[in-house]
Structure 1
Amino acid sequence: MNGMNYFLTKTALDFFIAFGVVIGGALLAGIGSVLVFQAPGPNMADTAEKLKIWAIVAAVGGTIDPIRVIESNMLEGHLSPVVMQICIIVSAYLGAYMGTELIKLICGEAL
């Protein structure tokens, strides 16, 4: 797999992983709310907000490695890997953000 193909694949997968973490966590929070006789909407929206940062961390690998890639390549003057890593993190953020907004829309707390 060439470099650009790997980058696009990684970017897309990180987007959908972050999206899935937020959607899955919020839906399970809704199911849990129903089981304990609470309104699911507010709990789902609140859980989606709280999961957003953790969805990004889960999507990019959950370690400090992405930050190390940025730091080491920037210090050496290699900007291409830095830009690619930042794009991957932004893609994960967009996935988490879109998942949160979708849950808010479903729960009636749209934008």
Structure 2
Amino acid sequence: MNAYFIKQLIYHFLQAFGVVLGAAMLGGIAAILTLESPKLHMESIADKIKIWAVVAAIGGTIDPFRMIETNFSDSQYILALKQILLIISAFIGASMGTRLIQWICAGGGEG
């Protein structure tokens, strides 16, 4: 694995993480402004937006999946594996963002 690929893994992870975190936090602010419970809104938003965070991190199109198919068809398994790892990195980032929001809403793990 070269340095460029490692950078891409980090970018995909943090982009998906940031989408979940940012959407949930801004949703929490909206809940406060409308005098509703931010906890309920933040957890709901984080859970609902997780898949969209992955889509945003991988570019918002179906192209990465087409690249996987093409690379498998052409017996370029390393390139296909790299695309799969980038998608997994985005999934992990989105999941960790959701877990962080759940942890924040639970009071930071107290009690």
Displacement, 1:105?
0.5
Unaligned runs of 5+ in 2: none
Within 5 Å, give how 1:50-89 maps onto structure 2: 50-89=48-87
**One-letter code of the match for 1:94?**
I
Counterparts of 2:82 and 2:6, CA distance in 1: 10
RMSD in angstroms over aligned alpha carbons? 1.6
Q: How many residues align?
A: 109
Alpha-carbon distance, 1:4 to partner:
1.4
Gaps of 5+ in 1: none
Amino acid at match of 2:36: Q
- Give the structure 2 partner of residue 19 of structure 1: 17
After TM superposition, the runs of 4+ consecutive aligned structure 1 residues lying more than 6 A away are: none
Residue 97 (1) aligns with residue 95 (2): yes
> What TM-score, normalized to structure 2?
0.94
CA–CA distance in structure 2, aligned partners of residues 11 and 65 of structure 1: 17
1:62–1:100 distance in 2 versus 1, CA, 3 Å: same
The letter of the residue matching 2:105 is: C
